[in-house]
Amino acid sequence: TKAQSYGVFAEPDSCQADGCNWGIRKMELLPRFSKFTDSQKLQIQESPEGMKGGNQPQSITCILDDDITGMVNPGDRVTVNAIVRTIERRSQGEKSTTYDKYLEVISIEIAEKEFAEIIISEKDIEEIEELSRSPNLRELQIRSIAPTIFGMEDVKETLLYALFGGLTKIMPDGSYLRGDVHVLLVGDPGIAKSQMIRYVVQISPRGVFTSGQSSSSAGLTAAAVKDNFGGGGWTLEAGALVLADMGVCGVDEMDKMDKDDRSSLHEAMEQQTISIAKAGICTTMKTRCSLLGAANPKYGRFDEFTPIGEQINMPPSLLSRFDVIFVLTDKPEKTYDHFLSNHILKAHQIGEKLLQNEHSGIDEDLDISSVSPPISKELFIKSIAHAKRSIFPVLTPEAFEILQAFYERVRGLSTGDKPVPITARSLEALVRLSESVARSRLSKKIEKSDAERTIRLVDISLRQVAYDPNTGIFDIDGIATGTTREKRDIIRSLKEVIKAYSDSGSYPDEEKVVQTMKSRGFPEDKSRETIKKLKKDNELSEPKHGLLKVV
């Protein structure tokens, strides 16, 4: 017998049996008399939140044997106790002077608590609870998010609630209700969208930031890679959304992602899982994270008279999955511009003085309160981790009634032939935000004030994305389906007109259709634009040049 280690099979040097002649008999492996143990190979990587900017996370291969195999999945946070071993790197059977390191695992533990890597002492909990009792808690928390960025309090407040998140619920019938809040910032260039999301990812106990322009579907979800260490089989490597599990994932430039890559976000945002079927590997990975997205308008800047769905290069099915969408426009305003320029110049001035003091060795007292967070980054991270671990708020009857009344009141605006202003998905967003508002102040009850604060933010978002300036009413279909009620009416009437002419025995030309539509009260430019779009979508055809027919 000869003990085996990981790598190349080692044959016995000689037979230990009495009377056996090694020179005559050849040694052979007899599988039916051999004992086998389970073995698994893993690759562990440093946690992304512990990395400094620009550093590549290090990884090492682990070998597991016997009863500790099959316990973990890609994306899990683990603690490993192991012995460091080396193995010779071989190329086509030839020996080499280069060796690879691997870990021979003795035990492996999966992190059971949220953010187990963050150690919160009794003193920290006392500080967090004392902070939660502060009368101006909300102001301190909002000012602690990206203090170098001026204004945008409503956006910062919503991002604050995305950090704390709502409650993930598994119902008795097995259905899953997500608790994470997804936020999309759409706005003119140079308005600090990316900078704000970067900052939020940094102060999240677990955060990953990526750019949509340079991210592929595999980079966001999981990649199947050829294993160069050992057998050469296929293995799964977790992507950004899986690594951000139980935390925050920031995706910049979402509008510039490829269509195929963007489709991978649908399941990850709503079901918070990713189904993988690659290279013979079929599995499901968890992506329980808040998605914070940033996007620019199609044509550079926003046009307030054009529906938002037409100005963002993103499908309605993806837009409708965001709980809150903010439109950030850059409009000249004398008073605001004065305060903004003052804040930016002061921030640069403070940065210059700090750099000067560092190089000259002079310790000059500076007032840095305008660009410093009132709550330290370490305490903020610990307060989020503590709230997510131990605070699970419940709706009070007062908050229940306020949320229900708001939903029914807004839905009540849709009577007769008016468009739908809000959907049930929006009501779920209200509940998630209310839970996160209560969590942010370490409350175990969702009070009336929490519901009112949530309604204010959702109302601001609805007025920006669901308000139709042409009709003066709310129409959520612009985001949910990509087609507003007004557009649907034009398309229906247009098809009716063309069909009426066709049924009478002649196909109409475009001018005749436009004039008939005008007599029904539809503007000429809208009718021509709709005809052009229907032709492009193959809903209208031309049996003869210049004549129209409904397909």
CATH code for 391-480? 1.10.8
Residue holding tokens 């009437």? Answer: 493
Determine contact, residues 200/163, Cβ cutoff 8 Å: yes
Structure tokens given for 128: 């967090």
pTM of the model: 0.70
Provide block-wise average pLDDT over 10 residues at a time, the chain (551 residues): 66 67 63 80 74 64 85 78 83 75 86 66 86 86 83 86 85 82 84 84 80 70 64 68 81 78 76 74 78 82 69 76 82 81 82 77 68 82 85 88 84 57 78 89 87 86 66 53 63 77 76 77 76 76 75 75
294: left (phi over 0), alpha (psi -120 to 50) or beta: beta
The per-residue pLDDT for 484 is: 59
Domain pair 169-331 / 391-480, same fold: no
Residue holding tokens 């900052």? Answer: 199
**Rounded Cα gap, residues 63 and 40, in angstroms:** 6
The per-residue pLDDT for 102 is: 87
- Report DSSP state, residue 509: B
**Rounded Cα gap, residues 278 and 235, in angstroms:** 10
The per-residue pLDDT for 386 is: 86
Dihedral, 39, 43, 49, 55 alpha carbons, nearest 10: 160
CATH code for 169-331? 3.40.50.300
C-alpha pair distances (Å), 29 with each of 4, 34, 131, 359: 13, 8, 68, 70
Number of residues written out for the chain: 551
Domain assignments of the chain as residue spans, ordered by start: 31-110, 169-331, 391-480, 485-550
**Rounded Cα gap, residues 551 and 535, in angstroms:** 10
Please tell me whether residue 275 adopts helix, strand or coil conformation. Answer: strand
The per-residue pLDDT for 170 is: 82
The per-residue pLDDT for 345 is: 85
**Rounded Cα gap, residues 501 and 503, in angstroms:** 6
> In the CATH scheme, what is the homologous superfamily, with its name and number, of domain 31-110?
Nucleic acid-binding proteins (2.40.50.140)
286: left (phi over 0), alpha (psi -120 to 50) or beta: beta
Q: Give domain 485-550's CATH number out of 2.40.37.10, 1.10.10.10, 1.10.3720.10, 1.20.120.530.
A: 1.10.10.10
Contacts of 301 (CB under 8 A, 6+ apart): 188, 189, 329, 330
Helix-then-strand count for the chain, H and E: 19, 21
- Report DSSP state, residue 185: E
